[in-house]
Chains A and B, each alone.
Chain A
Amino acid sequence: MRKCLVINLDRCTGCDGCVVACKFENNIGLGHYWNRVVTVGPTGTHPDIEMYWLPAQCQQCENPACVHVCPTGASYRDAETGVVLVDKSKCIGCKYCMMACPYGVRCFNEQEKVVEKCTLCSHRTADGSQLPNCVVCCTTGARFYGDLDDPNSDVSKELAKYDEDCIHRLSDDAGVHPTTCYILSPKVAAWKELS
Chain B
Amino acid sequence: MTQDGTGTRVTCLPMAAPAIVVVIPAHNEASRLPAVLRELGEHTGDLVRATVVVDDGSRDDTAEVARKAGAVVTRHALNLGKGSALLTGCELALRLGAGIIVTMDADGQHRPADLPALVAPLIAGDADVVLGARRFGDQMPALFRFGNRLLSGCLRAFYGLEVADSQSGYRALTASAFKAVRWSSRGYAVESEMLVHMARARLRCVEVPIPAIYHERYKGTQPLDGLMIVGQLVRWRLS
- A-B interaction: no
Which residues of B line the A interface, CB within 8 A? none
- What is A's interface to B at a CB cutoff of 8 Å? none
